[in-house]
Amino acid sequence: MLYDCAVAKCRSYSEEDVSRAFDDILPPVGGLDWVKKGMRIVIKPNLVSAMRPDAAATTHPALLKELCRRLTERGATVLIGDSPGGFFTVAAMNAVYSATGLNELERDGVALNRNVDYHTVDIDGQVMKKLTYTNYLDEADAIIDFAKLKSHGMVGMSGAVKNLFGVIPGLMKPETHYVYPDVSDFCNMLIDINEHFKPRLTLIDAVVGMEGNGPTAGTPRRIGALIAARTTYHADAVGARLIGMAPEGVPTIVEAAKRSLSPMNVEDIKLCGSLEGLIVGDFKTVPRKSIRFLQGTKFRFVQKVIADCLTHKPRPVNKLCMGCGKCERLCPAHAIEMRHGHPHIDRKKCIRCFCCQEFCPKAAMIVSRPLVMRALQRTK
């Protein structure tokens, strides 16, 4: 029987645990029988920044190593690539590969992408009509999306769908945020990218995820699972359940369901493996609230006021800030100004894309929940 998704326990990144977990999750979703000798396969991990594996911000090299071993045994040529935030240059990529532990894979014969060219194509997306992406993806006969399960300031959860945002060259990501400031439009843009590339296999590293101030400045949290799926949407639905997030709290899941790409609920997905004992009920995420009970143009002003009261925002922590100005340079809305060595945010301009929080090198920009939001969460 072919399943939509499979989940298995993977308590650590040891070779034994990793190999066993791959044995459990790959066959139910079709295995690797589709891999033929001579195929060129691109693995797109989450390499968001030059961070050590134990920071839990990036896909762990032990998992990538095992996947590469299985692919090369079948005669495939493997290329690992991503476009982290910031400058998309060879020097920047080398720093990321070194920090994330991928240089070891290169010594084992796996190629790491150093092609930093990109181009623009027309696509038939729901909201995105032109896509600028990294050229190395054109070398692929098949793409494997290997995400990391993390909390996320803007979309609640960073998983498989969000991982493909990494096909956009580094410094163009803030610009893309500015083009799609509305959360539903942003999520549909992500789905448009997923539909364009259609990964042949999706995997999520949920052995150790990141909770709290994710996707780069949060806290590692052991989940102990590995996910495989035939689509990015099924993988994310299961990932959300693992960290105790209701599907309606993850806008990428909501928008995918609207487009009939995946059910909202895990119960409607053909899942191999038990979630019992894997769900982390107290995983710290950024709760999202809806104000859809006020519909119509006459309520637009009221909606805006309530949204301002309920919506989380980026907030600088001056005692942690080193005054580098990276947040000011990366802000797509030009809402940040450095004053006396610290960032000041113009709330009227801020589009809440959380680029400043995601790429702050000192975790000095945090996701701030309004007082009303915190009170609602405590009384929930």
- What fold characterizes domain 5-272? Rossmann fold (3.40.50)
Q: What pLDDT is attached to residue 379?
A: 46
pLDDT tops 70 at residue 306: no
Question: What local confidence, expressed as pLDDT, does residue 349 receive?
Answer: 87
Assess contact for 58 and 303: CB atoms under 8 A: no
CATH 3.40.50.11440 domain range(s) in the chain: 5-272
Which residues in the chain are classed under CATH 3.30.70.20? 297-379
Q: For residues 141-146, give the mean pLDDT.
A: 98
Q: With bands split at pLDDT 50, 70 and 90, how would you rate the model's confidence at 358?
A: confident
Residues 297-379, CATH architecture: 2-Layer Sandwich (3.30)
Say yes or no to pLDDT of 336 above 50: yes
Tell me how far apart the alpha carbons of residues 358 and 363 are, in angstroms, rounded to a whole number: 8
**What average pLDDT does the segment 313-336 reach?**
88
